[in-house]
Every structure is written in C-alpha cells, then in structure tokens.
Amino acid sequence: MAVIINGDTGIDKITDGSIVTADFASTVPLGTKNIIINGAMQVAQRGTSTSSITSGGYHSVDRFAFSPQTLGTWTMSQDTDVPGGQGFANSVKMLCTTADASPATGDFLLLSQGIEGQNLQQLKKGTANAESVTLSFWVKSNKTGLYIAELFDGTNARHINKSFTIDTTDTWEKKTITYAGDTTGTLANNNSGALYLYFWLGAGSTYTSGTLQTSWGAATSANRAVGVSNLADTTSNYMNITAVQLEVGDTATPFEHRPYDIELARCQRYYYKWNSTSSNNWVAWAMAANTTNMYGHVPFPVTMRSNASSIDYSGLGWWLGGAVTAFSAVGIAESGTTSCTMNFTSTGLTAQKMYAVLPNGSTNYIAFNAEL
C-alpha cells in the first residue's frame, strides 16, 4: 500500500479503516514495543565467550545475566547458531562443562534480565486496567523437557510463572507465553529494577516443592520452578536462546529488529566498555595532583542508568613521551551518569603536569558498570 503524493495517479490511497492498529504492530518497526533490551543478542561488550562460570553475573551478551548457583560449570557465549530465515545473526548459548545431576536444596540455574520501573508504566500494573503481556522467543537445546519463564515484580514481591517445553532435540523452536495483567501492586516509576524476566533452567527443592504460580500472587520460593528440568545434569548439555521479546497485549507480533547502534546505546546505559583500537587511542587527559596520583575525566556516550558503581580495566598507563608506564591502580574519584572523574595511581609523576592516559597495547580497555 502506498500514499498518494502530489496528486500522482496510479498509486493506492490510504482510506479510512483500511489500516488498523494491528497492522502497525505486526508490520511497522515501531522501535519501542519490545520491552527487552538486546533480545536478538547482538551486543556483547564483555566478550563473545566466558568459560568456567560457577556464579551469577553478566558474562557475555549485554543485559542478560546468567546465574548457575552451585549448579554445574558453564561457558556462556554469543553464538552464530540461529533459527533459519528469521533475520537473526546471534543467539546466547549456555554450555555445561561440568555436570551436577543432583541439585542441592537452594541451587538454581537462571538466565535473566531486569527492567527499570520507568520503562514499564504502560503495563498499568496495580490498576483495574492492568495490561496482559506476551513473551516470545526462539530456543534450541539437546535436552528436551519442561522449563519455566517467570515474571517477577521486584517492587511488590509478586510473580507469575509459566512453563514451556523443549519438544525436539537440537531443533530451533519458537515459544509464545501470555501473562495476564496484575491488578495488584503498582510498579515503582524510577530507575530501579521493577520487573525481572527469569528463565529457569534448573533448581533445587527450595524452588520446586510447591505448586507452580501460574497466576499473579505473592512471591513464594517453592512455587517458582515446579517441574523444571535440570539442564546441568550432563556435561555438554546446552541451550541457545534468541529473539526474546516482551510486549504489551495478548498476541505475539513479529520480532522487532532494532539497528545495532540503537541496541548498543541502550546497552551502554547499563554497561559501557571503552576498547582500545590502537596504542595511540587515548582514553583521557589527566593532571597529576602529586607524585603518585593523577585525575582525569572519562565521558560516557549515553547517560547511564545511575552513577557508575564499579569499573574494570586492563593495561592502562600514562605517557609523556617515551614508554608507557602502567598504573598500579585505577579507581573512581567522582561518579556520575554522564562521566566519571578517575583517580589513576602510579609513581614518578610531577605535580600539576598533564599526562595522556592510554593503553599499553591494542586490546586494553576500561569499563563502567551501572547494571540493575
């Protein structure tokens, strides 16, 4: 269908009633219908693969935390195995490298994403007009069985849990789950984590000994993962997931493909990693306050969710002609959402002199964290 322009003939006109909201939802890339960030697993600032994972954290693809709470050892990676003909280039893969066939009481295995409350007000949660939401995703695993997708309201400690099944080994399958709106418990309208999506891939009896909470209710640990299979029970078990979309309504519409630069910027609100591209790629100028400390300003490309709470770095040093001298420590002196003032520690500095802060090589970095 085309719009008639400047009186041109031979082009269909849009007439009243010929296009409806459903058409826009399913055919027009609106850019914001998917509440999930990085659902196509495009962005992996921390790296494409991390091995020997035994504890929770962000290990590979942005915005998806992986938490094997004493339940196996894992490699998490950004993979190129994707469902064919769907327009995806990446998935996230969790691969078991050390098995645990007998989960202890409090063990769990989770893939999750937290969502800011101010990005969820359209759900109208806690009101008579609370909206249903629909989760859709593609999944592939060598281990058939039942798994759990949970929405957890962190503001009010409420949850709803639905199961999905891997029907066929080593085959991409699309899953769609609709959750009713919750008329109890308004979500906080701020930058804190208000709603969490949890994929349960294994759990001990603390989380499996009750009755699955398939309607909204007060959070009860025993009702969170009832019937879940144990992906950790055999070495080389794996699960790939991509195209994770959470949207308002009771119908799953086609996945919203966002451009890489837009998805990257949304991820950088929570984690920003400056990567060196060469030994001459300076990250900051800094002024020495004394013989051991210099202070420099590092700007962020987007406003972060909160003041950067921690940093990680590798291979940074100072230069004033000659060789690069490595720092003995790098820390945040003054934290902010648009930049940080850094304290760089070394020896042999001259007070009131300016120095270039740059990498020792081409693969060094500094990263700032403001994750939920």
CATH class given for the domain over 21-259: mainly beta
In the predicted structure, residue 183 carries a pLDDT above the cut 90: yes
Which residues make beta-bridge pairs with 88?
none
- Contact 179/126 with Cβ under 8 angstroms? no
Mean pLDDT of 21-47: 79
* Bridge partners (DSSP) listed for residue 134: 178, 247
| pLDDT tens per residue across span 87-110 | 999 999 999 999 999 999 999 999
**pTM of the entire predicted model:** 0.92
Residues in the chain: 372
Phi and psi, residue 334, nearest 5°: -135, 120
Domain-wise residue ranges, the chain: 21-259, 271-369
pLDDT the model gives residue 282 = 87
Q: What is the mean pLDDT of residues 343-353?
A: 97
Is the CATH number 2.60.40 carried by domain 271-369?
yes
Phi/psi for 221 (5° steps) reads -55, -45
Query: In whole angstroms, what is the distance from residue 274 CA to residue 324 CA?
Result: 18
Number of Cβ within 10 Å of residue 22's Cβ equals: 11
pLDDT the model gives residue 264: 98
pLDDT of res. 170: 98
Question: What is the model's pLDDT at position 17?
Answer: 52
